[in-house]
Amino acid sequence: MIPSIRTAYNHQFTDKQYHDFLEGIALEAGEAPVFKVAETPVFIPATLTAQLIQACDEIIAVIMRPDFKELTRHAIPHQLKAPHENDHPHFIVIDFAVCRDEHGELTPRLIELQGFPSLYAFQELMARQFRTHFNIPDTVNNFFGGLDSESYFQLLKEVIVGNFNPEEVVLLEVKPHEQKTRIDFYYTEQRLGIKPICVTELIQEGKKLYYETGGGKVQIRRIYNRVIFDDLHRQQEHLGKHVSLLQDLDVEWVTHPNWFYRISKYMLPFIHSEYAPKSWFLHELPVIPADLENYVLKPLFSFAGQGVLIDVTQADIDRITDPENWILQHKVQYDPAIVTPEGPAYCEIRMMYIWPDDSPKPLLVHNLARISKSKMIGVTQGKPQQWTGGSCAFFEQEL
C-alpha cells in the first residue's frame, strides 16, 4: 500500500526468494508451516498506521473502563466460566479490514477482537525471514514501542514465564501437535523453553496440576493458555477422560480463559468509533433493517469465522432461536488495496497487544496480516491462491 515499496517488491520478487524464505522459516522453527504463507508482507503508509493506532486506542479505552467487567458480565457462558479471573488480559488482538473512506483514502474498519494470544512467536520469525530474503526498507517496521526481536522476546518471557522455571510453565492446547498453528507452539518452546501440552496430558492431584517428563512429574505453576473453551466443550466426547479446567486449581493463567469471552464479538455493540461499524445484539435490535444485504450476522460463540453469514436475509434471522447469542454488524467493504503480480487482493491487519501485570495499560507490540482474494478472509477455503495467505505488516510510523 506504500506504492514505491510495493512496486519495487513486486518487480524484484522471484520464486527462488519465496522458496528460500519458506525454507528459512522451516529450518528455524523445526518444521514448515502447514498453512499458506503469503508471498508478500503488507506495507502500511504512515496515515493508515496512525488511524490503526487511534482506532486501537479507542477500543482499549472501552476495555479499561472501570465498569468493563459489569458491562461484559453476560459474555461468558455460565457452563464455561473459570474461577480466579484476574484484573486484565495479558494478550489482546484487534482485527481491522483495510477499506476506503468516502474520500477514497485508505482507512481501517474493525472486524473482531480477542482477549487471547495468536501466533505471537511465529509472527516475529516470519517478519524477520521476510527481511532476510527480501529487500524490506528500514523506513518501515513490524514492531511498535521501540521493540526489536530481542526485547520483544524478553517481554514475552516476562509475561508468559515470569519468575517461574520455564519447565513449570506449559503452553496448553487441545491436541497441539494436530493444530494448524503448531509451528507457533514449537517456536515458542524454542524461544521460551515451555512445552506444548495437550489437555489430556494433565495430571491432577488435589488442586495441583502436573505433566510427565522423562525424569518424572513436573508441577505446572502457570498455563500459557491456547485452549478455546467452547471448542474444548464441543470435543469432550472425542477427547476421552481429562482434567476439568473449570475447577478451583492451584495454577496461574496467561491469559485467563474468561477474557476470551469478555474481549470478543460481545464487545462490538459497546465500541463507538468512526473506525468501528455499527453493531447490535440481535435481540436488542429495535427494527430489522430493510437493507440486510449491507449487514453481516455473527454468532457470539464461534472461532475462525465459523457460522458467519455475509449475505443476510430475513429468512436467516427468522431461523435464529437464540438471538441473544448473535450480533448484527454493518458490513464493511474491503478494498483490493494490495497490488500483486496476479491481480489485486484484500487484507486484514491484526494489531497485537501484550499487557504485563505491572503496566497501567496494554502495550502495542506487533502485528499479523491476512491477504485474500475472496471476501471471507481467514476462513478455510479450497486450494489457496498465489499471493494470498498469512503474512505480516511493515508500518511506516512517521510522516
pLDDT tens digits for range 71-129: 999 999 888 899 999 999 999 999 999 999 999 999 999 999 999 999 999 999 999 99
**Residue-level pLDDT at 311:** 86
Residue 244 lies in a domain: no
**Residue-level pLDDT at 234:** 77
Tens digit of each residue's pLDDT (9 = 90 or more) over 20-46:
999 999 999 999 999 999 999 999 999
Residues 127 and 37 both lie in one domain: yes
Residue 261 lies in a domain: no
Residues 325 and 399 both lie in one domain: no
- What is the arithmetic mean of pLDDT over 201-218? 94
Q: With cut-offs at 50, 70 and 90, classify the pLDDT of residue 64.
A: very high
Tens digit of each residue's pLDDT (9 = 90 or more) over 126-177:
999 999 999 999 999 999 999 999 999 999 999 999 999 999 999 999 999 9
**Residue-level pLDDT at 96:** 98
Residue 184 lies in a domain: no
Check whether 214 has a pLDDT greater than 90. Answer: no
Contact of 185 with 176, CB cutoff 8 Å = yes
Tens digit of each residue's pLDDT (9 = 90 or more) over 273-332:
999 999 999 999 989 999 999 999 999 876 555 688 888 999 999 999 999 989 999 999
Q: Which of 35, 380, 365 is nearest to 182 (CA)?
A: 35
320: containing domain: 278-331
Among candidate residues 294, 314, 331, the one where a domain is terminated:
331
**Residue-level pLDDT at 377:** 65
Residues 96 and 49 both lie in one domain: yes
- What is the arithmetic mean of pLDDT over 358-370? 97
Residues 284 and 384 both lie in one domain: no
- What is the arithmetic mean of pLDDT over 195-224? 96
Give CA–CA dist 335/101, Å, rounded. 10
Q: With cut-offs at 50, 70 and 90, classify the pLDDT of residue 247.
A: very high
Give CA–CA dist 125/128, Å, rounded. 5
Task: Report the domain count for the chain.
Answer: 2
Give the three-class secondary structure for 369: strand
Lowest model confidence (mean pLDDT) among 35-39, 368-372, 382-386, 392-396 = 382-386
Could you give the C-alpha distances from 126 to 67, 129, 153, 359, 398, in angstroms and in order?
Answer: 38, 5, 14, 27, 23
Residues 315 and 345 both lie in one domain: no
Residues 126 and 20 both lie in one domain: yes
Contact of 295 with 326, CB cutoff 8 Å = no
C-alpha cell at 186: 514449537
Strand partners, 219: 210
C-alpha cell at 215: 525424569
Residues 351 and 296 both lie in one domain: no
Q: Which long-range contacts (CB under 8 A, 24 or more apart) does 311-317 make?
A: 314/288, 317/282, 317/288, 317/292
Chain mean pLDDT for the chain: 93
Residue 311 lies in a domain: yes
Q: Which long-range contacts (CB under 8 A, 24 or more apart) does 316-320 make?
A: 317/282, 317/288, 317/292, 320/282
Residues 54 and 110 both lie in one domain: yes
Q: What is the pTM of this model?
A: 0.94
Residues 322 and 346 both lie in one domain: no
Residues 324 and 349 both lie in one domain: no
**Residue-level pLDDT at 335:** 96
Among candidate residues 303, 331, 359, the one where a domain is terminated:
331
Output DSSP code: residue 255.
T
Residues 296 and 352 both lie in one domain: no
**Residue-level pLDDT at 393:** 98
Q: With cut-offs at 50, 70 and 90, classify the pLDDT of residue 383.
A: low
Residues 31 and 133 both lie in one domain: yes
Residue 296 lies in a domain: yes
